[in-house]
Amino acid sequence: MRFYVPTDIYVEKDCVKRHAKELLAVGRRALIVTGHSSAKANGSLNDVTEVLKAGEIPFQVFNEVEENPSTDTVRKATQAAREFKADYVIGIGGGSAIDAAKAVALLLVNPDVDADDLHKMPGHPLDHAPVVAVPTTCGTGSEATPVSIITNHKINLKKSIPHVIFPALALVDGKYLASAKKQLIVNTAVDALAHMVESILNVKSNLFNRMCPEYGLRLWGECKGALLSEKAVDENLYEKLMFTSTIAGMSIAQTSTAVPHGMSYDLTLHQGVPHGPAVGYFLAAYVEVCAKFVPGDVEKILSLLGLQNISEFAAMIRNLIGTCTTTREKREQFAKAMKVNRSKLDLVPGNISAEDIDYIYEKSLIVG
């Protein structure tokens, strides 16, 4: 059994300022990669640039990362990094900005690889420039995973790239959630929930790596009342939500995500559904199918969350993210693609059948 997360992770208030020394030690010239506006609005960009200025580290900001970052955006950011002669990349934002930063860090030191080739399996492991991750959503845990999920619109593909890119440093501060709308917090928290559930209901789950999702699910259970309530999330919970998301990232760093994530990518690509809900819609039916194979694990997940049964779990997710409608044609097309997605199906802790996959789609997506 092995547990591997080589990232230096700090979780605390004013983390960026408190760990200025660590942030400055990562490189000599930084490209900061962010989304369009949130990093500016929530103070995270300012916290980082103040530290860089005080430490006399030259930096440039690339703030054009869209949700579900594309190969074209990654190419453009890499060009900016090269022109600026950056030697490290700081991703500030949700999973989109951090994943884009990872892909830029890889391309930066591999000039022969084009952004459109990022999904191709390399002949040998590729190096990457160091990455610093400053998350501002409580969902992807990308600050603690080796994964970068990039979309190539030319071939209609949203998928993780086959490269291992752990950030060198992660600075996790819940205060950046203060600017987030309630539904963004809920959506991303559902992603973190899915990471932990898919990490346990997974052939790679073992006694050692379960320490992360089992502890994280307990913490998530402590936040669920606030997530379900009509009221804004109390700021006292920000750190717990962020921390849980990082732990959920450490969970999938060991096992990778499973079927619900595999199913989500088409829903995002073809219907524009945000990542958290796109995964969440499939979660309860996946749990139901896995209950046939590993009933004890499903019991454990429910009890850590403080839930009685799978119906309560399904109702909780419905209350958080509602339901999803699609066409019959799309649902059939998505199911057909999933039935040959061995990289996800092989992670199911049991013999999942074509009927099980159809069942998950029928249960999860309403035809309308």
For helices 354-364 and 328-338, what crossing angle results, to 10°?
140
Regarding 276 and contact with ligand NAP (CB under 6 A), the answer is: yes
List, in sequence order, every beta strand (DSSP E) within 209-363. 324-326
Short-list 137, 270, 256, 250, CA closest to 203: 256
User: Whose CB is nearest to Fe ion?
Assistant: 191
Q: Which token pair is 339? A: 């039935």
Regarding 244 and contact with ligand NAP (CB under 6 A), the answer is: no
> Please, what is the minimum distance in Å from the beta carbon of residue 58 to ligand NAP?
23
Cβ–Cβ under 8 Å, residues 255 and 205: yes
The dihedral region occupied by 231, where left means phi > 0, alpha psi between -120 and 50, and beta the remainder, is beta
Regarding 177 and contact with ligand NAP (CB under 6 A), the answer is: yes
Cβ–Cβ under 8 Å, residues 141 and 245: yes
DSSP state of 178: G
Residue where the block lists tokens 């990562």: 26
Choose one: 35-43, 75-83, 224-232, 326-334; the region binding ligand NAP (CB under 6 A): 35-43
Regarding 248 and contact with ligand NAP (CB under 6 A), the answer is: no
> Please, what is the minimum distance in Å from the beta carbon of residue 274 to Fe ion?
11
The whole-angstrom separation of Cα 139 and Cα 308 is 24
| DSSP, residue by residue, 317-359 | HHHHH--EEE-HHHHHHHHHHHTT-HHHHTTSSS---HHHHHH
Partner from ligand NAP, Fe ion, none binding residue 42, C-beta < 5-8 Å depending on class: ligand NAP
Q: Single out the residue of 42, 78, 205, 244 in contact with ligand NAP (rule: CB under 6 A).
A: 42
Short-list 159, 167, 251, 249, CA closest to 204: 251
Three-class SS of residue 150? strand
Partner from Fe ion, ligand NAP, none binding residue 37, C-beta < 5-8 Å depending on class: ligand NAP
Choose one: 5-13, 186-194, 199-207, 236-244; the region binding Fe ion (CB under 5 A): 186-194
Q: Which token pair is 38? A: 């949130």
List, in sequence order, every beta strand (DSSP E) within 114-215. 131-135, 149-152, 157-160, 169-172
Q: Single out the residue of 71, 78, 110, 136 in contact with ligand NAP (rule: CB under 6 A).
A: 136
Q: Single out the residue of 91, 95, 260, 280 in contact with ligand NAP (rule: CB under 6 A).
A: 95
Regarding 205 and contact with ligand NAP (CB under 6 A), the answer is: no
Regarding 35 and contact with ligand NAP (CB under 6 A), the answer is: yes
> Please, what is the minimum distance in Å from the beta carbon of residue 144 to ligand NAP?
8
Three-class SS of residue 80? helix
The whole-angstrom separation of Cα 288 and Cα 291 is 5
Q: Single out the residue of 139, 221, 262, 280 in contact with ligand NAP (rule: CB under 6 A).
A: 139
> Please, what is the minimum distance in Å from the beta carbon of residue 353 to ligand NAP?
27
CB atoms within 10 A of CB 206: 13
Binding mask 286-305 for ligand NAP (x = CB under 6 A): --------------------
Partner from ligand NAP, Fe ion, none binding residue 94, C-beta < 5-8 Å depending on class: ligand NAP
Choose one: 48-56, 94-102, 234-242, 326-334; the region binding ligand NAP (CB under 6 A): 94-102
Q: Single out the residue of 143, 173, 191, 214 in contact with Fe ion (rule: CB under 5 A).
A: 191
Interacting residues with ligand NAP (CB under 6 A): 34-39, 42, 67-68, 93-97, 99, 136-137, 139-142, 145, 147-149, 176-177, 179-180, 184, 188, 191, 249, 275-276
Please report, as ranges, the residues that interact with Fe ion according to CB under 5 A. 191
